């Protein structure tokens, strides 16, 4: 997988971080005294208990790549970053980094709270071996980027956490690193500063800096990262495109923990059927009638709006076996016009009894940005309980009001359990909506718009 370390350091190939078969086991001690006793024991007697934080992690990151790390609290994300930075050493396996690292591991790490922001930045740069001229340059860059006014010359113990984050981030980016590592601390900055940071991160990426960061914000990850890593229970679950990783992460949080491929083979064929929820008065065509009352066989794959690159997850207690788009009671294929009402019929097969089902949808852009979405819980629409083995068909009726372009539709069935929602079957980007461009609006939405002259009056 890797060349020898010499060619590595010279940067042959563009892999900049290589983690291979890394495991980390922490030693837990009942007290500091016991820790001291073990460390100095002449016969190396063991007093500790072991805790495995990371297990056999391998991945590579290339130059200029921006990689997000997601995972639940305690999954091992920060440990992984600390290993890459070199603050911790792996118990087994090896890590190679072909360049200088600048890391923001913890708010205020490396700064002495008794010193002012300026003094700390000078000290940190001196320790890193910068010359006097270089230091002066960097300090003024940090000062202007952090933009905290006269606080820059106040002791850091008087700072708010946002100010800490500003100075820390400004310092980290101004030491000209090859790799920037950020552990979830930007969240304390205000929106404007965060935006500034993300712009800078993007600029650094374009300049070839490799960026690695932990975030719980799926939006930030989607906006900044090409790829992402999902860490769970000390193991690397997937290393893939950000979208796929986020889907798997959300499955982990809300679903069963097993992201599935979109392969559905209906096994139960109980004929106990319910009608549509929103019973429309309109006449429906024969083929729509056939869809509603027909079998649970999936035929969505044959329809042109089906996106075979959908991402699907959930615990499988219910399955969206089929879906179809209708306009004015007629099955509809092909492009839609943005200002006509759409009905999406969702055929759901329940495999267990679900007391409080929830139906939801969202419209996303091809970049993965959610531009609209809601669900039955948010809108206080009550959905009846579903028995095991029953099939329901739900009609979701929306007026999209979209301007021309490509969009994707997410569909999902969940279950309300107290305050939480458990994902039964979520199908992200399952429908490709091609909205015809009538050149009457730009952006995402058509917003009703009027414009008229009110002065001068009666102007002709």
Partner 1 sequence: MNSTINPLDKLYRSRKTILALARRDILSKYSGTVFRGAWELANPALTLLVFWFVFSVAFKAKGPAGTPFILYFVTGYAPWLFHFESLTRGTQGIVAHSFLVKKMIFASELLPFVYLTGSAINHGLLLLLVGAILLSNGVSITWHWLQLPYFFLTLCAVLIGLQWLLSALNVFNRDLGQALGIVLNVWFWVTPIVWVADGFVPSEYQWLIQANPVAYVIEGYRGSLLYQQPFWINGWQGLYVWCLALAMALLGGNVFRRLKPHFGDVL
**Contact footprint for partner 1 (CB under 8 A):** 32-33, 35-36, 39-40, 82, 85-87, 89, 105-106, 108-115, 119, 123, 126-127, 129
Supply the minimum distance, in Å, between the C-beta of residue 51 and partner 1.
12
| Residue (40 or 286) nearer to partner 1, CB | 40
Do 106 and 160 meet the contact criterion of CB atoms below 8 Å apart? no
Chain CA centroid to CA 398, Å: 26
| Residue (58 or 94) nearer to partner 1, CB | 94
Supply the minimum distance, in Å, between the C-beta of residue 270 and partner 1.
58
Q: Pick the closest to residue 413 from 361, 344, 374, 370 (CA basis).
A: 361
Strand arrangement of the beta sheet that strand 342-350 belongs to: 330-331, 318-327, 342-350, 391-398
- Look at the block and give the residue holding tokens 């100010």: 163
Do 221 and 228 meet the contact criterion of CB atoms below 8 Å apart? yes
Supply the minimum distance, in Å, between the C-beta of residue 252 and partner 1.
27
| Residue (105 or 182) nearer to partner 1, CB | 105
Cα–Cα distance for residue pair 11/415, rounded to 1 Å: 51
Which element (helix H / strand E) includes 24? strand 15-28
| Residue (40 or 379) nearer to partner 1, CB | 40
| Residue (137 or 147) nearer to partner 1, CB | 137
Q: Pick the closest to residue 342 from 396, 407, 275, 289 (CA basis).
A: 396
Supply the minimum distance, in Å, between the C-beta of residue 93 and partner 1.
17
| Residue (109 or 399) nearer to partner 1, CB | 109
Supply the minimum distance, in Å, between the C-beta of residue 196 and partner 1.
25
Do 225 and 68 meet the contact criterion of CB atoms below 8 Å apart? yes
Strand partners, 394: 346
Q: 431's torsion region: left (phi>0), alpha (psi -120 to 50) or beta?
A: beta
| Residue (115 or 441) nearer to partner 1, CB | 115
Supply the minimum distance, in Å, between the C-beta of residue 5 and partner 1.
14
Chain CA centroid to CA 55, Å: 23
Q: Pick the closest to residue 76 from 103, 93, 54 (CA basis).
A: 54
Cα–Cα distance for residue pair 432/303, rounded to 1 Å: 10
| Residue (116 or 218) nearer to partner 1, CB | 116
Burial tier of 106 (Cβ tally within 10 Å: 0-12, 13-18, 19+): middle
Supply the minimum distance, in Å, between the C-beta of residue 77 and partner 1.
14
Supply the minimum distance, in Å, between the C-beta of residue 130 and partner 1.
9
């Amino acid at each position: 997988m890797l060349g020898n370390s010499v060619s590595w350091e010279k940067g042959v190939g563009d892999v900049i971080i290589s983690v291979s078969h890394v495991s980390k086991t922490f030693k837990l001690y009942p007290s500091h005294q016991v820790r001291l006793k073990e460390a100095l024991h002449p016969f190396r007697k063991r007093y500790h208990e072991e805790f495995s934080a990371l297990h056999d992690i391998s991945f590579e990151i290339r130059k200029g790549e921006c990689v997000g790390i997601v995972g639940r609290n305690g999954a091992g994300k920060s440990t992984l970053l600390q290993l890459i930075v070199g603050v911790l050493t792996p118990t087994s396996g090896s890590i190679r980094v072909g360049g200088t690292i600048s890391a923001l591991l913890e708010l205020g790490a490396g700064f002495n709270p008794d010193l002012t922001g300026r003094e700390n930045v000078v000290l940190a740069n001196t320790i890193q071996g910068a010359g006097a001229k270089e230091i002066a340059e960097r300090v003024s860059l940090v000062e202007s980027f952090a933009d905290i006014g006269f606080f820059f010359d106040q002791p850091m113990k008087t700072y708010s956490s946002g100010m800490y984050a500003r100075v820390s981030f400004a310092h980290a980016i101004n030491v000209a690193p090859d790799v920037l590592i950020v552990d979830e601390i930007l969240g304390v900055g205000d929106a404007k500063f965060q935006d500034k940071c993300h712009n800078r991160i993007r600029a650094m990426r374009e300049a070839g800096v490799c960026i690695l960061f932990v975030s719980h914000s799926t939006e930030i990850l989607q906006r900044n990262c090409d790829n992402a890593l999902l860490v769970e229970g000390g193991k690397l679950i997937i290393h893939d495109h950000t979208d796929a990783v986020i889907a798997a992460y959300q499955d982990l949080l809300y679903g069963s923990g097993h992201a599935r491929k979109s392969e559905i083979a209906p096994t139960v064929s109980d004929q106990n059927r319910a009608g549509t929820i929103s019973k429309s008065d309109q006449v429906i065509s024969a083929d729509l009638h056939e869809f509603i009352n027909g079998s649970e066989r999936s035929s969505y794959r044959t329809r042109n709006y089906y996106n075979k690159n959908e991402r699907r997850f959930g615990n499988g207690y219910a399955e969206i076996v089929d879906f179809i788009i209708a306009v004015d009671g007629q099955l509809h294929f092909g492009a839609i016009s943005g200002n006509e009402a759409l009905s999406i019929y969702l055929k759901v097969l329940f495999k267990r009894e679900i007391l409080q089902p929830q139906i939801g949808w969202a419209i996303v852009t091809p970049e993965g940005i959610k531009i609209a979405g809601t669900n039955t819980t948010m809108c206080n629409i009550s959905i009846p309980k579903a028995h095991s083995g029953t099939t329901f068909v739900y009609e979701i009726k929306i007026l999209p009001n979209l301007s021309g372009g490509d969009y994707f539709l997410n569909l999902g069935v969940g279950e309300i359990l107290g305050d939480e929602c458990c994902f039964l079957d979520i199908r992200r980007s399952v429908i490709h909506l091609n909205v015809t461009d009538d050149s009457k609006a730009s952006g995402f939405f058509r917003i009703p718009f009027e414009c008229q002259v009110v002065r001068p009056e009666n102007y002709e």
